[in-house]
Structure 1
Amino acid sequence: MSDLAKTPATADAITDRVVLVTGLSGAGRTACLKALEDIGYEAIDNLPIGLLHLLLDGGGELGGIRRPLAIGVDIRTRDFEVDRLVALIDAAHADHAGGPGAHDIRLLFLDCDTEVLARRFTETRRRHPLAADRPVMDGIRLERQRIAPLKERADQVIDTSALAPGDLRRRLWTEYALDPRHGVTLTVLSFSYREGLPREADLVFDVRFLKNPHYDAALRPLDGRDPAVARYVEMDAGFHPFFEQLTAMLEPLLPRYYEEGKSYLTIALGCTGGRHRSVYVAERLAAWLREAGQQVILVHRDMEQWESRQKSGLPSGEAHTSEKEGP
């Protein structure tokens, strides 16, 4: 399991990090900056581009202290120009490649579906910055067109269309952690195919070939964390060969991601309902990775939603979806 060892980031590299947070208005920039501030970044919003240049030229020191920075810039920022910002980022990357003392700038772009953005502006009764005298959809489309070069240039794009605030925070903690002891962070995620593929997934594995506990009346109310469900899944003749092949593939594959500089990786496992098979396999895989010394975040996306509906007394959906529960 030594092949899975991580190469931690150095403290100097962490100190020199600057995360520029941009993207579409309403996509979650403020929430993103607050989450990065909680992680340990000095968060600054709407910093004029000219001052950004001065800050970086001055070594990024705030009050005599050199700290990692999270800076929010978008269409509302004074003197905002896409070409100027791209040129500044490219110059900073060239300086960073040239030697120590320069900044490691990462451009994080927050994207979102147009319909979702329009609904957010309608619900909050806020005007879109480019739609003062026109429909909000026109402003969203115009902004998307203007900042398209930033999305193409971004080091990372996060689509917040289906992300709850907690999910966004979890991704940012995973991908922008400052603890120099931590290298690449792995997220193991279970999901329901009925609810759609997780957008953040890097690797997706379909476990619907396994025998489904849903059809056992005693196991149906349980989930994949229950020992009875675990035994049921493990009794399937296909489980152990699959799991052995999965781990045998990941063992040499993960170090290659690390060597390419990837700071996070999301491995998703899906079944029909997202409560039994995928949950159990995700639990097993997370345990295997932790035994190998990895930092792992375990997320049961659709099981958590199901539990929330149960607690609130809302219909769980089982009555009208039971016929679709098959493999």
Structure 2
Amino acid sequence: MSALDQVNQLRERMGQSIIGQRDVIDRLLIGLLANGNLLIEGLPGLAKTRAVKAMAKNLECDFSRIQFTPDLLPADVTGTDIYLQTPEGSEFKFQPGPIFANVVLADEINRAPAKVQSALLEAMEERQVTVAGTTHKMPPLFIVMATQNPVEQEGTYPLPEAQMDRFLMHVVITHPPLEDEVKVIRLVRGEDNSSTTGETEEAIPQSAIFEARREIGNIHTSDAIDIYMATLVQATRTPDDFSDDLKRWIEIGASPRASLALDKCARTHAWMNGRDYVDPEDIRAVAPDVLRHRLALTYEAQGEGTSPDDVVREILSQVAIA
């Protein structure tokens, strides 16, 4: 079975647990295959945690969930050195924290204080943590999927721009339509009434993910596509060159990480759709998720109710492929 077949199988299994969120499932898989970290935002009850768990359940991996609270300490995430008394004498031994897993669910990440966010940042960016001067590497398959609630403000610590930029994509989950919500009711009712768990399907091996990444690395991008991606990001930095609305709306544009993220996500999107080349539609499909958290809007834009997605749509309408 090819890597694409196995990833599609993972997608279908996740779809059995997550009704009406096909785009969200695809974004989670893009983050996994592109070797990046995701920020997942949505109101309570929209299956943010369930979606991540569904992926981890069907993938051969170690999964950990960290519930962030204001009193959390960095050692609660990274682990710490503990003092042991052995027959050979006493020694300090490193006790790994929950960050040492393949798939890490950082639930309500904006409730963590700055010190904890800093410790998580090193793991996300450097794929390692440093405790008591010693560096400990993360496993080869490692992804942080962080969730946050957009409406609660009490007891939260807004993520700084530097940390937001470390997330490959910012995935927004919305309410499902009526027909899908009916299916959700029936799905959960069936789970509650089920007396047997049934046979457990064999998990998708990690080797399929690594093979997929190798194939994605060989996806072809033309010079015109490279210029198109760079121009989209450039439009966030020099908005007055493109339209008066963009000039009024954008305070701070995206960094070069946005261009790199567009490239990774567009190539992954093309691969998941069975193509060995990137076309403009791949870029347009992932652009909102890649750019929405990397834009700082002006007070005027916020006062008008303009959202980052409105800005991205305007950018896509103004920038043409060469």
User: If the length of structure 1 is used for normalisation, what is the TM-score?
Assistant: 0.29
Q: Which has the larger radius of gyration?
A: 1
User: If the length of structure 2 is used for normalisation, what is the TM-score?
Assistant: 0.29
